[in-house]
Amino acid sequence: MIRAHDLRLLPIGLAAWAAAAATGALPVVTVIESGGLLCAGAWGVVLTVVVGLGALRRHRAAAVLAVVAVALAGGALAVTSVVAAAPARHPPALREAAESRASVAVLVRVDTSTRPLASGGVWFDGTALRIDDRPLSAPVRVFLAEPGGRLPVAAEVLLQARAQAPAAESESTLLSATAVLDRSPPEGVAAVAELLRSGFLARTAALGGDVAGLLPGLATGDTTALPADLEEDMRTASLTHLTAVSGANCAVVVAAGWLVAALLGAGRRLRTVAALVVLLAFVVLVTPEPSVVRAAAMATVVLLARLGRRSGAAVPALLASVLLLVLVDPAIASRLGFVLSVLATGGLLLAAEPIARRLQDVLPRPLALLVAVPLAAQLACQPAVLLIDPSIPVYGVLANLLAEPAAPAATGLGLIGCLLAPWWPAGADVAIRLAAVPAWWIASIARAVATWPSPRIAWLPGGVGLLALTLLTALALLLVTRSRRLVLPRRVAATVLAGALVVGGASSVAAPLLRSAAVPSDWRVAMCDIGQGDAVLVRGDAGVLLVDTGPLPERLDACLRLLGLDRLELLVLTHYDLDHVGGVGAVVGRVDEALVGPVADEGDERDRAALDGGGALVREAARGDSGSLGSLHWRVLWPEPGSTLRGNEASVTLRVDIAADARGGPLSLAMLGDLGAEAQGRIARLDPGRVDVVKVAHHGSADQAPALYDALGARIGLVSVGADNTYGHPTASLLTLLADRGTRALRTDLEGTELLAVHPEGVVAWSSGAAAPVTALDEHGRGVPTLLSGGSPLGRAEDGISTRPAGVSRRSRHPGAAGRLPTPTTGWMRNRRGVTRGRSGVTRNDRPGLRKDRPGLSISLVMFAHTAVLLFLAAAPHQPPWSIVLFAVALIGTGIGAFSDSRRYRREFLERQRRRGPS
């Protein structure tokens, strides 16, 4: 029997949460200047409903109106809280600094661990304490250009920075800092916490490998030492939530505090106080991230309820903590960590038990519980995750099933090591080495799952995708209900889910495979659609040359998969702007040799070092350098040897000539990087020779030298540019320049990825027909994180559906079956005819007559369709014929199941009518 949950706080909690998030999404000026109107409107609605309630107090609708009135009151309180907090969150000093864009001296307290930026700097959340000589206390998000090392939490740093106003009230003001003018260490309790964190990091660093970076994340949520590639693998495997401190960690800490107090002979009240003190100390140690605050608030509610001899039920505690937090700190309502933490906890509390009961039809109870926990959490979180990552992990539930049993041991032993590190290093080392074993297991699972084929399924982006997945999730949860009144809805839900799994899986997985199959095999040149940036591939008979990597590794990796490329013989980085080298991580370890432009700063050196560390032979390019990849011959035209030029004007410029071979006739092309008109003119005077194709300089900007295009005489101009970019690329003047010379412009913003092949009739172009959006860059041209306000990189959710039909009723309703005993409850496997085989050895038929709640064929097809999708994914990208046949069979089977269910339901309906007799 599934327990009934106390949901009395649900209406007011959800209303307050929604109102805080909606009001926080308004512009800062609107909330501050029109706050009175917002509050008046919110409370006016509440008053209207209360008046209506008084008029209808004897009507049936009175109870519903009372619930609505309470919920609206919660929403009005949240609106009032947002309006009241806005002036302090966005004080005049910060707003004036943002409007003037002037560089100011800002004293900031560091509130979170620093996280690296792709540009080489760091970012963190903090509290601005002073601007010039004006005191304040306002939340800020700091982007620090210089690496600066690790900044201790609670330290105060004086920054030279420019302020940028946030887009919404719930977001923090952005500070782009160029230098740290002064810094002071944390004091008091914060200093002790920093001593523990730094000591723990130092002890775990000695472990080396993945464990050195992962163990601090598992124990204290500190991911500063987590390798970037392991973090990406954990994201792929939906395991990043393990490094985000939340309810499980708080439960371990509270239980430890309670147990120690009990062993010391403390009474119930002292045990509760001890648990609260330990919980508070833990929050200080791990820093108050949104997920930590949510978990700590919920634990506090439960402990206080226990102190008052209340039940301390989990669901009311969760709802109470949500209500209290959004009223005290309304900005938390839209933070990603808080949203995912609440959804995951709610999924566990409300859905895990019904899912486990349903899975017990096919699995033993312990295994059913193990599967139900990650499945419930990921079903609850996935709709929210879609808003930032429109894809669904395929192996998330399986990865969590394998990894999560090791997490408590790593967390508990890691915390012991953290507490002992500064005071008893030898004891800390013992605990840390013991914790390293489960941490190694988790890292190994993440590494292994990340290598499996097609780990994510693309989904519809935006609100449409959110609505679609929410509907499918609701249908999946409907399947686990056992109410006899929901037999037909469950069968309809099963049919819809089976069809969605097959059709959705086919469209999201087969479509890219079919696009890959449509790519011409004889292509010579490929201009990848990677947004606003460059990534051009040239293929000879003995290897592939890649010029630049674009802004993002995942986009370059998608292009390489489309073309079926695993290895690159030569990489050329023309210069070190983010839109040309940001995707270098996708090819580290896959490149034999690299030619790079002149190095200007430490960030450039890091890119070179990454390639060198991946095994590539790295050397700086200069005019006169040349080489061959079989039929492909390349020659460097620019820069001059020993040149002092840097940036765009020093872009490595190539001429590539491909001789005729088995793939087609000859082809020549010039690759101009981001050269400006002056450098182009100098190359034109060096007589570069005529070519068939030119990769247009600087994404089609207006800074072009017509003389160079005259000298090249290309028939095709490749323009790599992001759709809807804000730079105006390609410019009308560039397009006119090409048209006047008879050069056909091929643009990624209009046609997507472009491929060129050489046929007897000439050069043939192929395009994918889909353009990628522009990468967000800051005012310095650097990529910036696109997290929600205050968000933390938590685990990704999973929409795996693994449900079973409703169980056969324990007591028959057949007229001749009156007085039959219920089926033994020890059974866990039920066959198609209602025969239950119990572990006691008893076998009986509990439904000899018409079975109203019999499992339908379409429900079984949910499992079959899900298996078909997974098998198809496992076969990618090779796509053998049997996988297509399997999808076709699953699709046909779904239709048969729907038809069979409809006929069965009609027979049952007619049978019920016959039994009732004439009315």
Cα angle, residue 331 at apex, residues 389 and 302 outer, rounded to 5°: 95
In angstroms, what CA-CA distances link 583 with 551, 560, 580, 601, 671? 5, 12, 8, 18, 19
Q: How many residues does the chain have?
A: 919
Those residues of the chain that have pLDDT short of 50 are: 1-2, 770-864, 866-867, 869-884, 886, 919
SS3 624: coil
Q: How far apart are CA 536 and CA 581, in angstroms?
A: 12
The type of residue at 401 is L
As given in the structure block, the two tokens for residue 497 are: 């889910």
The H-or-E segment that residue 540 falls in is strand 536-540
3-state SS string over 490-519?
A: HHHHHHHHHHHHHHHHHHHHHHHHHHHHHC
State how far the Cα of 584 lies from the Cα of 578, in Å rounded to an integer. 10
- Whole-angstrom Cα distance, residue 662 to residue 643? 40
SS3 content of the chain, % helix, strand, coil (to 5): 50, 15, 35
Task: Please give the C-alpha separations between residue 870 and each of 797, 865, 883, 905, in angstroms, as whole numbers.
Answer: 17, 9, 10, 31
Instruction: Report the C-alpha gap between 566 and 564 in whole angstroms.
Output: 7
Q: What tens digit of pLDDT does each residue of 723-767 get?
A: 777 778 899 899 999 999 899 999 988 888 889 988 877 888 888
Q: State the pLDDT at residue 36.
A: 86
**Burial of 451 (C-beta count, 10 Å sphere; 0-12/13-18/19+):** exposed
Note if the bond before 639 is cis, omega within 30 degrees. Answer: yes
Cα distance between residue 304 and residue 294, in whole Å? 15
**Omega prior to 288 cis, within 30 of 0:** no
CA 7 to chain centre: 30
Q: Which of 365, 380, 370 is nearest to 407 (CA)?
A: 370
Q: What is the 3-state secondary structure (H, E, C) of 656-691?
A: EEECCECCECCEEEEECCCCCHHHHHHHHCCCCCCC
The single residue listed with the structure tokens 């059974």 is 827
Query: For 154, left (φ over 0), alpha (ψ -120 to 50), or beta?
Result: left
* Vertex 49: Cα angle to 48 and 55 (nearest 5): 95
Q: What separation in angstroms does the CA of 660 have from each of 393, 536, 666, 715, 760?
A: 44, 20, 4, 18, 11
Pairing mode, strands 536-540 and 835-837:
unpaired
Tokens 């990848």, residue located: 528
pLDDT at 820: 35
Query: Mind spelling out the 3-state secondary structure of 75-135?
Result: HHHHHHHHHHHHHHHCCHHHHHHHHHCCEEEEEEEECCCCEECCCCCEEEEEEEEEECCEE
> Torsions phi, psi of 116, nearest 5?
-75, 150
CA dist 167 to 271, 724, 725, Å? 46, 20, 20
pLDDT given for residue 876 in this prediction: 44
- Give the phi and the psi of residue 849 in degrees, each rounded to 5: -100, -155
How far CA 152 is from CA of 157, 192, 791, 873, in Å, comes to 10, 11, 20, 44
CA 714 to chain centre: 43
Q: Are 258 and 302 in contact (CB under 8 A)?
A: no
**617-620: strand order across its sheet:** 617-620, 591-596, 568-573, 543-547, 536-540, 523-527, 754-759, 762-767
Asked if residue 359 lies in contact with residue 370, where contact means CB atoms within 8 angstroms, the answer is no
Q: 17: helix, coil or strand? A: helix
Q: Name, in order, each residue with C-beta under 8 angstroms of 283's C-beta and a sequence gap of 6 or more.
A: 292, 293, 296
pLDDT score of 506? 52
Q: What is the DSSP letter of 771?
A: P
Cβ proximity of 371 and 359 under 8 Å: yes
Q: On the CB side of 18, how many CA atoms lie within 13 Å of its CA?
A: 12
Q: Are 311 and 266 in contact (CB under 8 A)?
A: no
User: Dihedral sign, CA of 846, 848, 854, 855?
Assistant: positive
Distances (CA, A) of 717 to 633, 696, 697, 705: 20, 6, 10, 14
**Can you give the pLDDT at residue 487?**
52
Q: Find all residues with CB under 8 Å of 742, minimum gap 6, and list them.
A: 715
**Cα separation of 654 and 639, whole Å?**
10
What is the tens place of the pLDDT at every residue in 338-357? 998 899 888 888 888 888 88
